[in-house]
Each structure stands twice: as structure tokens, then as C-alpha cells.
Structure 1
Amino acid sequence: MLIPFLIMLREGIEAALIVGIVASYLKQSGRGALMPAVWVGVLLATALSLFAGAGLQLLAAEFPQKQQELFEGVVGLIAVVMLTSMVFWMRKAARSIKGELQASIDKALSKGADGQGWALIGMVFLAVAREGLESVFFLLAVFQQSSGWEAPVGALAGIAVSVAIGWGLYSGGVRLDLRRFFRFTGLFILLVAAGLLAGVLRKLHEGGVWNHLQTVVFDMSTTLPMDSPLGAVLSGLLGYQAAPVVGEVVVYLAFLAVSLFFFLRSAPAPAPRAAVAR
């Protein structure tokens, strides 16, 4: 439950920042009448994400067992790529995202009175759809590895809290150190991505694609089983497996070593505490 909550909280805050910056700039520049176009873009991006998630879920249900394992491995791999790229993109773009969005708005509104609304819808749609599709692939990968109500409830709770924080940032009632927030959540997401990547290798083995490095490194099934409270927490947070094989351990450690090296190598300069101007 914690992992979907934190991931959707971060994704939701990123999307809320984009919408908040656009709304603030339109209001400050005296073009608040164009706000309906912003909400149309948000709704279209949300609809696309929901349809994509439902379509992928239905597609997976049609596969035989081995093909389904392979499909889940591919979804997990896409989720790892998207999560990792999201972390490094936000780390790089956090300082300039406001200026870039305002420049994009000015470009969209230069289309003329007839095309302003459509251009603004398209800009907001593309920006929010990116966050939505990232969330879809991540949630599919998580839901495939966990059954029960905890993961969906955690994801919905993360979205709800991110909406509340986004509104607070826009209205000025919430002050959040976004640089520190994205840095800490970035480290957490890289740990999650490492666990997902090890799970991808496991799915590829179950699908008959990868059969190498299958020697069990250690077996803690009796000492710390995955269905125990602590085992479940470690599995969700760190990708813990009670009896991991060599390939999973190598992939997990190699991914963490490379990603953490580049993530921590040079910290970005401090950004303003409030990312959305009133």
C-alpha cells in the first residue's frame, strides 16, 4: 500500500504542478477565460490513461500462462524505464520547468484567437498524459505482483493527497520544499525500480525466455518468509525475495549502483521553496 501511495503522490504532485503553473500564468496574464481549455486537456489525458490501463489489463487476461508471464515482464520493464526516466527528468527540469511551461503557453497563445484554446488543450494534454501513462505502467506492474485491496487503495489515497497539495500550492496555503521532496522520493523510486527490474527477470524466467543464473543465493523462507509482516514490507519497499537467484541479485545491485551513482553525483542547485507563483 505504501509504494503505490508514494508513487502516485509524486506523480500527482508533478501533474498538479504543471496544471498549477499554467493556471497561475493564465491568471496573472489576464487570460483566465482560457482555463476551461486547461481542464479539457486534463480530462482528456486522464481518460487516455484510464483507457490505456483498462486495455492493457484486458489484453493480459487473454494470454495463456507463459505468454502472460512474458507480458507482465514487458510491462514491468516499461515501468522501470519510465520510473527511472521520470526521476532523472524531474531532477534536471525542476529548476526550469516553470519558465519552460510559460514559454510553451506563450507559443500556444500566439496561434490566434481561433486556435488558442486548441493549442492550450494540446499542450496540457501532452504534459499531463505523460504523468498518467507513467502511472498506468507502474500500477500494472505493482498490481501484477500483489493481490488484494491495499495497492489500489494506496494509489487512490496518493492521488487524493496530491490533488489537495496541488491546490494548496496553487492557492498559496501550502509551502513545500519541492527540491527536497523530489530528491527523497527519487531515491525511494530508484529502490522500487530495482525491485521491479529483478521481478522482470523472474517473469522472463517463468515465461521461458531467460534460464540463466538461476542458482539460489540464499533461502530465508523459514527465517523471514515473504508472507510475514516484515517480509511483506521489505518486499514492497525493496523488492525483497526470500530465495533470490543469482540473476536477480546481480540485476538489482547493478541497477542500484549505476542509477544511484548518476543520481547522487551532482546535486542540483537549490530551487525556490514554492514552485507555483500566485
Structure 2
Amino acid sequence: MGQSMFIVWRESVEALLVIGILHAWLSQQPNNRHALRMLWGGVVAGLGLASLLGWGILSAGDWLAGPAGEWFQCAMLVVAALLILQMVGWMHHHGRDLKRNLVDSAATSLSQGSGVGLLVLAMLAVAREGSETVVFLYGIGHQQQGADLTGFIIGGVLGFALALLSYAALQAGSHLFSWKRFFAVSEALLLLLGAALLMAGLDRFSGQLMGMDLPDVLYTLFGDPLWDTSALLDDGTTLGSTIAGLTGYRAMPSLAAVVLLGLYWLTVWLWLRPRPEARPEIQTA
């Protein structure tokens, strides 16, 4: 329940931010009634696209059975982890320009007269957040095999309610709960969750390999543990499994798990490290 609540909370706040920026700017424009209708039409269309994607993913998961279904779920877990990495990186580098870019795009759309461009802008923004939510929730659902569906749904509903409260608090402004702090904390939690999803995908991948006739070196690489920290924290206990589900922790990790997790965090560091600003060229006569 906690993971679904966090994902819906984080993605809903980001979607509300985009809608709020566009709505606030449009409210200041003259003769804005048509533009506001196009904005809300885009929101509804974006939710429809995200719902369609969710239906497609669930249908594909139900249609694929046996090993094919396992490979599909493994792929979705890896996609969700990589999508978290891409999303966090994009927001980390471009978040401060989000408002300006949205307003510029909205102004360009309005200048064209019909407002269709504004509808498409809102639709794509909402569909992106909704699609990410669908992929993340699907991955989490298959990371937690045998998870309580009712608790999963309740977590999502609570996450959306919390998002509404959080957005109102963020808009009110506070040194303790600012947009900068919100993105910093949620990015860190998302990256940890991305690692957990990646490890869950590796577990499914390793499970499929164990049933194949492969060279012994692969069984050693994906199956044999490098160490055992169960005495300190067993990932089979309630506390251990919770931490494993949130961070990717394994008490007895294989060499493949250690290497993959190391590559993941190396990629995070390379992706999020400050980028040098381009210096203007000095022209000489």
C-alpha cells in the first residue's frame, strides 16, 4: 500500500503542478473561456490515454501466460526502473524551466487561434504523468507477488488525496515544505524505488534462467550468493522485506545483482551530476 500511495502522490502532484501553471496563466488572459475549456478537455483526454495504456498493459499481462508472461512482467519491471531514472533526470535538469516552457508553449498555441494546440499540450502533459503512474504501479504490483489488491487500491486513493493536500500546501508556500524540498525528497525516494524494481526484474529474470539448460557459469553468476547478511537484516522478515521493496536490498545477493545495482547507481550519478554551462564563444576580429 505504501509504494502505490507514494507513486500516486508523487505523480499526481507533478500533474497538478502542470495543470496549475497553465490554469493560472490562462486565467490572466482576456477572453479565456474557450482556452480554459480546451485546457480541461486536454486533461480529460490525457486521463483517457493513460487509462487506455493501463488497459492495454493489463490485457497483455493476462493474455500472456507461463514463461511468456514472466518475461513480460520482467520487462515491465525493468522499463519502470529505467523510466524512473529518465523522469528524475529530466526533472532534475529541466524542472526550473518548466513554468517558462509551459507558458511559452501555451502562448504559442493560443496565438494560432483554435486552441487545439493548448488541448494537445495539456493532454500530453497529463498523459505522460498518467502513463508513468500506470507503468510504475504495474511494476510494483508484480514486484510484490501476492500483495493485497484492496490495500494496493486504497494506497492509490490515499496517494491522490495526499497529492491534493500537498499541492495546496506547496502553493501556499512554506520553508519547511517547498517545491525545491518536495522534488529533492521525492527524487531520492523514486531512485530507491527504481533500484527495488530493477532488483525485482532481475529476480524474475534469474528465475527463468534457472529453468533452462545453460552453462554452469551463468547459474553461478545469477544464483550463488556473494555474502549473507541475514543475521543482520533478513529480507524475508517483515522489516527486511519492506526495506527490500523500497530499496532493492538483498541479504544474499548474487554477483549479477551486485553488478547491476552498482551500474544503476553509477548511472544515477552520471545522469544527475551538474552539467557545465556552455560558454559563449569569443569572436575575434
Tell me the TM-score normalised to structure 1 length: 0.85
**How far, CA to CA, are the matches of 1:129 and 1:168 in structure 2?**
24
**How far, CA to CA, are the matches of 2:173 and 2:99 in structure 1?**
18
Distance 1:54 1:220, change over 3 A: farther
Shift of 1:41: 1.0
Alignment of 1:16 onto 2:16: yes
**How far, CA to CA, are the matches of 2:38 and 2:164 in structure 1?**
19
**How far, CA to CA, are the matches of 1:202 and 1:233 in structure 2?**
16
**How far, CA to CA, are the matches of 2:32 and 2:266 in structure 1?**
47
1:171-222 per-residue CA deviation (whole Å, 9 max, x = no partner) reads x545441112111211221111112112222222223399451222234567
Alignment of 1:228 onto 2:237: yes
Shift of 1:239: 1.6
**How far, CA to CA, are the matches of 1:181 and 1:124 in structure 2?**
23
1:5-48 per-residue CA deviation (whole Å, 9 max, x = no partner) reads 22222211111110000000001123441222211111111122
Correspondence for 1:266 among 254, 263, 274: 274
Distance 1:104 1:36, change over 3 A: same
Partner residue, 1:140:
138
**How far, CA to CA, are the matches of 1:195 and 1:134 in structure 2?**
16
Correspondence for 1:237 among 246, 251, 254: 246
Q: Identity, % of aligned pairs?
A: 28
1:119-165 per-residue CA deviation (whole Å, 9 max, x = no partner) reads 21111001111111111111100001221133332222222221333
Shift of 1:258: 2.9
Contact 2:225 2:254 in 1 (8 A): yes
Partner residue, 1:119:
117
Contact 1:69 1:206 in 2 (8 A): no
Contact 1:23 1:32 in 2 (8 A): no
SS at match of 2:96: coil
Counterparts in 2 of 1:168-179, with a 5 A limit?
172-173=171-172, 175=174, 176-179=177-180
**How far, CA to CA, are the matches of 1:252 and 1:153 in structure 2?**
31
Contact 1:82 1:134 in 2 (8 A): yes
SS at match of 1:19: helix
What letter matches 1:21 in structure 2? Answer: I
**How far, CA to CA, are the matches of 1:26 and 1:167 in structure 2?**
19
Which structure has the bigger radius of gyration?
Answer: 2
Partner residue, 1:100:
101
1:73-111 per-residue CA deviation (whole Å, 9 max, x = no partner) reads 111121112111110111112211111111001111111
**How far, CA to CA, are the matches of 1:65 and 1:32 in structure 2?**
54
SS at match of 2:205: helix
Alignment of 1:4 onto 2:12: no
**Could you tell which deviates more after superposition, 40-49 or 240-249?**
240-249
What letter matches 1:200 in structure 2? Answer: G
Tell me the TM-score normalised to structure 2 length: 0.83
Contact 1:10 1:162 in 2 (8 A): yes
Distance 1:174 1:152, change over 3 A: farther
**How far, CA to CA, are the matches of 1:11 and 1:52 in structure 2?**
16
Q: Which runs of 5+ in 2 are unaligned?
A: 277-285
Partner residue, 2:89:
88
**How far, CA to CA, are the matches of 1:227 and 1:13 in structure 2?**
33
Partner residue, 1:191:
192
Q: CA RMSD in A?
A: 2.4
> How many residues are treated as equivalent by the alignment?
262
**Could you tell which deviates more after superposition, 119-128 or 192-201?**
192-201
Distance 1:89 1:31, change over 3 A: farther
SS at match of 1:64: coil
Correspondence for 1:128 among 119, 126, 129: 126
